[in-house]
Structure 1
């Protein structure tokens, strides 16, 4: 299917469907260019609010947002009739929050986490690219970004340790 043939919800349609509202990152996924980047940017203010959660609560946040993401992304994808529509960015949001797990405080670290996550999400090194091509549904939409986030998390933590 050609990208211009994709059905994309309008802003008003997105607000009428909780599946689209969350899957499209509260509208950030409606950006005409680089929706994944805009979705990741939308995750930063939320991270700013949750960054001081105790470790068990932060892990619970990640688990709940991942499970809900599987549900919302799958339903939104089915409603649009296309697997992993480019505007579905909840996976980028959860990926950023995972990247930032136990990150040092400060804007420099938030920016570095953003850059690292986008780098691995775009590059999709093995096995991310393999999963991206083979796993369907909401889980398939979410899992490649979780793996990209794990790569970014490891690099971010290594930098924090050595700097």
Structure 2
């Protein structure tokens, strides 16, 4: 099997951590996303998402080629991309307000919990994408879960900042 594909799909073997490799994948997405933001700001972070998606799609295709299991648990690049999408509104707010990304720590927690909830329960379109039974479906279910989580992060931020403050 292609070593580069395995490194990408498992996010440097994080996907082999037990238990709950998807949760480990989501967790590793946080410091990697923070590092990308620190290096290049909001726009580099935003650009990393489609680039990571395309690389992840390719790596997932390589790892699942000829296998019955279309979504092996060690593939966690999809969780990384979904988690980054959930974090996108947070980094946008940090960029707009020119504050430390760590200052919005409640947003980090909300993004993580909401993304994991949508990824695990697979409601509506998340479940539809998961049932595709191919590499694109592996990536898309987490993208959609990330979008749902991002929408909830924005709603919670609006509730907190506009109503409670």
TM class by shorter chain equals 0.7 to 0.9
Deviation at 1:44, TM superposition (A): 1.0
Runs of 5+ unmatched residues, structure 2: 94-100, 161-165
Runs of 5+ unmatched residues, structure 1: 1-12
Change (3 A) 1:127 1:102: closer
Deviation at 1:41, TM superposition (A): 0.8
User: Out of 37, 48, 51, which is 1:61 matched to?
Assistant: 48
What secondary structure is seen at the aligned counterpart in 2 of 1:161?
helix
Alignment match, 1:42: 28
Q: How does 1:90-109 map to 2 (within 5 A)?
A: 90-103=77-90, 104=93, 105-106=101-102, 107-109=105-107
How far apart, CA to CA, are the structure 2 residues paired with 1:79 and 1:21? Answer: 19
Deviation at 1:102, TM superposition (A): 2.6
Q: Normalized per residue, which structure has more helix?
A: 2
Deviations 1:62-112 (A, max 9, x none): 111111111011111226553110110000001101110031533322122
Alignment match, 2:75: 88
Return the TM-score normalized by structure 2.
0.81
Change (3 A) 1:100 1:91: same
Return the TM-score normalized by structure 1.
0.82
Superposition CA RMSD, Å: 1.9
